[in-house]
């Protein structure tokens, strides 16, 4: 059994992406996880999250299926809805996949303590070929970034808290500190503007982006102080504040498409997908 890239991963439409940059975004299908982490139809799910109470050995097998299509083990992060951005200097410890597979090969079920904690951050950048930046999601929006000449890439976790606090601006600035020039961005699957009900606190958090942010919040009739929030629109505003305007994607809704995506808001107990980018 293997992961079929044509049917088990998302087809990315990203105009202008340099041929020297690799990208991959997983769906919920194509792995070995059983319900509630399955593919939604009783088949195996490709849950990649170690922190969601799925069987650890199964998650490691899912990660091994994914690894066959990547140049290296992804840089997994402990995502905390913040704004910290890490680069290659932060990733020197042995990767969790190697340790987990060693336990599996010894016919031992891997235990949680065998996996070194991934560094806490919500974005990573790389200017070195073969290093895979990765973000896991199940409603928050993954954002992939690439310099037009393919010299620097990044992956960012854009839930509303990190987005409001400036995670995308920090990521862009970190890429520029690595020598990036013009940037291209792809917005991955996340909770869509017809399903993301929020309160006044969320609307207030985005006032730093100016009056244009108001248009990303649609008042819900009959529900005072409740809005439908448009994360892709808010991401575009944040990127535009840094002069980044070439932005693709943002149309796929995780909540509305149970046949393709895990969704925490829809299912509560669920798996995690991953969106990855690297320089070939």
The sign one gets for the Cα dihedral 67, 157, 149, 6 is positive
Spatial contact of 270 and 262, defined as CB atoms under 8 Å apart: yes
Domain ranges (residues) in the chain: 5-191+254-279
Q: 130, 129, 226, 231: which is closest to 188 by C-alpha? A: 231
Tokens 């925490």 — which residue? 264
Q: Determine phi and psi for 24, rounding to 5 degrees.
A: -160, 135
pLDDT tens for the chain, 280 residues: list them: 689 999 999 999 999 999 999 999 999 999 999 999 999 999 999 999 999 999 999 999 999 999 999 999 999 999 999 999 999 888 754 444 444 444 444 444 555 545 667 899 999 999 999 999 999 999 999 999 999 999 999 999 999 999 999 999 999 999 999 999 999 999 999 999 999 999 999 999 999 999 999 999 999 999 999 999 999 999 999 999 999 999 999 999 999 999 999 999 999 999 999 999 999 9
Q: How far does the chain reach from its first CA to its final CA, in angstroms?
A: 26
**Which CATH code, of 1.10.3720.10, 3.60.140.10, 3.30.420.40, 3.40.50.9100, is assigned to 5-191+254-279?**
3.60.140.10
The sign one gets for the Cα dihedral 51, 45, 2, 25 is negative
DSSP-derived letter for residue 218 is E
- Whether 48 and 83 have beta carbons less than 8 Å apart is answered as no
Does residue 257 sit in helix, strand or coil?
coil
Residue 91 token pair? 């990733």
């Amino acid at each position: 059994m293997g992961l079929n890239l044509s049917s088990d991963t998302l087809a990315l439409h990203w105009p202008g992406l340099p041929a020297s940059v690799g990208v991959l975004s997983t769906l919920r299908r194509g792995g070995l996880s059983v319900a509630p982490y399955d593919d939604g139809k009783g088949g195996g799910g490709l849950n990649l999250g170690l922190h969601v109470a799925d069987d650890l050995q199964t998650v490691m097998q899912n990660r091994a299926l994914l690894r066959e299509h990547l140049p290296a083990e992804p840089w997994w992060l402990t995502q905390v809805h913040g704004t910290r951005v890490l680069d290659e200097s932060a990733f020197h410890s042995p990767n969790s996949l190697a340790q987990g597979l060693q336990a599996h090969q010894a016919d031992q079920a891997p235990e949680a303590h065998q996996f070194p904690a991934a560094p806490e951050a919500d974005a990573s950048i790389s200017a070195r070929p073969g290093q895979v930046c990765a973000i896991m999601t199940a409603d928050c929006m993954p954002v992939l970034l690439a310099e037009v000449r393919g010299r620097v890439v990044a992956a960012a976790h854009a839930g509303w808290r990190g987005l409001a606090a400036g995670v995308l601006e920090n990521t862009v600035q970190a890429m520029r500190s690595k020598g990036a020039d013009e940037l291209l961005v792809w917005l991955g699957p996340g909770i869509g503007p017809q399903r993301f009900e929020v309160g006044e606190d969320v609307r207030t958090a985005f006032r730093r982006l100016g009056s244009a942010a108001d248009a990303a919040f649609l008042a819900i009739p009959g529900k005072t102080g409740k809005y439908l929030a448009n994360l892709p629109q808010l991401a575009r505003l944040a990127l535009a504040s840094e002069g980044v305007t070439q932005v693709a994607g943002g149309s796929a809704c995780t909540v509305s498409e149970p046949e393709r995506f895990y969704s925490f808001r829809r299912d509560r107990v669920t798996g995690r997908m991953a969106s990855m980018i690297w320089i070939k």
